[in-house]
Chain A
Amino acid sequence: MTKFSLVEFSIRRPRWVLALVGLLTLLFLTQFPKIRIDTNPKHMLPETSDVRMWNDEVDKTFALYEDTIVVGVANDRGVLNRDTLGRIARITEAIVALRGVASRDVNSFTTITNVTAGDGMLKVGPLMPVAPKSDVEVDALGKALFDNPLFIDRIIAKDGRTTAIYVPLEQGANGAEIADRIRAIVAKEEGPERYYIAGDPVARDTFGAEMFKLMAIFSPIAGGIMFAAIQFMFRNLALSAAMMGVSMVAIMWSMGLLIGLGFPVHIMSSMAPVFLMAIATDSIHIFNEFYFRYRKHGDKLAAIRATMAAVSRPVRFTALATAAGFAVLLFMNIIPVKVFGGLIAFGTVVLRLLSFSFIPAVLTFLREDKLVGKAEDASLDRTARLLGGLGAFGAKRPALVVAVIMALLAISIWGTTRIHVNNNLVAWFKDGSEIRVADTAMNQALGGTSLGYVVVDAGKAEFMKRPEAMRWIEGLQRQIEALPVVGKTFSVVDYVKRINRVLHDDEARFDVVPETADTIGQYLFLFSMSAKPADLDNVIDPGFAKANLWVQMKTWDADAMRQVHAAVQSYHKANPLPVTAKPAGIAYFNLVWNEEVLGDLVFGFSLALVVVFVILALDFRSFKWALVAYVPLLFTILFIYGVVGFAGKDFDMPLSVMSTLSLGMAVDFAIHFVSRFRQRRAEVSRGETPLASLAWTAARPGKGIVRNAVLFAAAFSVMMAAPLTPYVAVGAFIVSMMLISALLTLLLLPALVMLFRRWLLDEPRGDTQ
Chain B
Amino acid sequence: MKRWLLVAMAALLPFTAFALTGEEVMKKSQAAFLYPGKDFKARVVMKLIARDGQERVREMTMLRKNMGEAGGEQKYFMYFFQPADVKDMTFMTYKYPAKDDDRWLFIPAINMVKRIAAQDKRSSFVGSDFTYEDVSGRDIEDDGHAIEREEKLAGTDCFVVKSTPRAADADFGHKLTWVGKESFLPLKEEQYDRKGVPYKLFTAEETRQVKGFPTVVRRVMKNLQTGHRTEVSYLRADYDLGIEDSLFSERFLRQAPRKWVD
Contacts and interface: CB of A to CB of B under 8 A. Distances in A.
B50 A542 contact: yes
Contact of A122 (B56, B114, B228): B114
Given A60-B52, A521-B85, A536-B127, A530 B116 contact: yes
A103 B195 contact: yes
B209 interface: no
A484 interface: no
B220 interface: no
B226 A525 contact: no
A234 to B, nearest CB: 62
Interface in B104-131: 105, 107-110, 112, 114-117, 119-120, 123-127
A529 interface: yes
B193 interface: yes
A543 B83 contact: no
B109 A522 contact: yes
Contact of A525 (B54, B112, B126): B126
B224 to A, nearest CB: 13
A532 B123 contact: yes
Interface in B45-63: 48, 50-52, 54, 56
Nearest to A102: B225
B195 A530 contact: no
B194 interface: yes
Nearest to A517: B85
B153 interface: no
Contacts of A536: 127
A597 B50 CA distance: 37
A126 interface: yes
Residue in A63, A465, A521 whose Cβ sees the most chain B Cβ within 10 Å? A521
A529 B110 contact: no
B221 interface: no
A526 interface: yes
A124 interface: yes
Taking residues whose C-beta sits less than 8 angstroms from the other chain, chain A's interface range is 35 or more
A125 B120 contact: yes
A517 B110 CA distance: 12
A121 B115 contact: yes
Nearest to B125: A529
A570 interface: no
B112 A503 contact: yes
Contacts of A103: 193-195
A99 B195 contact: yes
Contacts of B116: 121-124, 526, 529-530
Contacts of A519: 107, 109-110
B89 interface: yes
Interface in A113-150: 120-126, 129
A201 B85 CA distance: 41
A542 B109 contact: no
Contacts of B120: 125-126, 129, 530
Contacts of B123: 124-125, 529-532
B124 to A, nearest CB: 5
B85 A518 contact: yes
Interface in A511-548: 514, 516-519, 521-523, 525-526, 528-533, 536, 542-543
Contacts of A120: 114-115
Contact of B85 (A465, A528, A530): A465
Given A63-B226, A519-B109, A525 B114 contact: no
Nearest to B171: A104
Given A103-B195, A503-B107, A529-B127, A122 B117 contact: yes
A641 to B, nearest CB: 48
B83 A542 contact: no
B109 A532 contact: no
A641 B115 CA distance: 68
Contacts of B119: 123, 125-126, 129
Contacts of B117: 121-125
B86 interface: yes
Nearest to A462: B85
Given A63-B226, A122-B117, A503-B110, A522 B124 contact: no
Given A121-B114, A121-B117, A542-B56, 18 more contacts: A60-B52, A97-B195, A99-B195, A122-B115, A124-B117, A514-B109, A516-B109, A521-B85, A525-B80, A526-B116, A528-B127, A529-B116, A529-B125, A530-B116, A530-B120, A532-B124, A542-B48, A542-B54
A521 B56 CA distance: 14
A99 B196 CA distance: 10
Contacts of A60: 51-52
Contacts of A124: 116-117, 123
Nearest to B108: A522
B107 A526 contact: yes
Contact of B54 (A465, A517, A529, A543): A543
Contacts of A129: 119-120
A384 B155 CA distance: 96
18 contacts: A124-B123, A125-B117, A126-B119, A503-B114, A516-B109, A519-B109, A519-B110, A522-B110, A525-B80, A525-B126, A526-B107, A528-B124, A529-B124, A529-B127, A530-B116, A530-B123, A533-B228, A542-B54
A526 B124 contact: no
Contacts of B126: 525, 528-529
Interface string B132-173: 000000000000000000000000000000000000000000
A99 B193 CA distance: 11
A516 B110 CA distance: 10
Nearest to A504: B110
Contacts of A63: 226
Interface in A286-339: none
A142 B91 CA distance: 32
A521 B115 contact: no
A522 B85 contact: yes
Interface string B36-48: 0000000000001
A688 B63 CA distance: 112
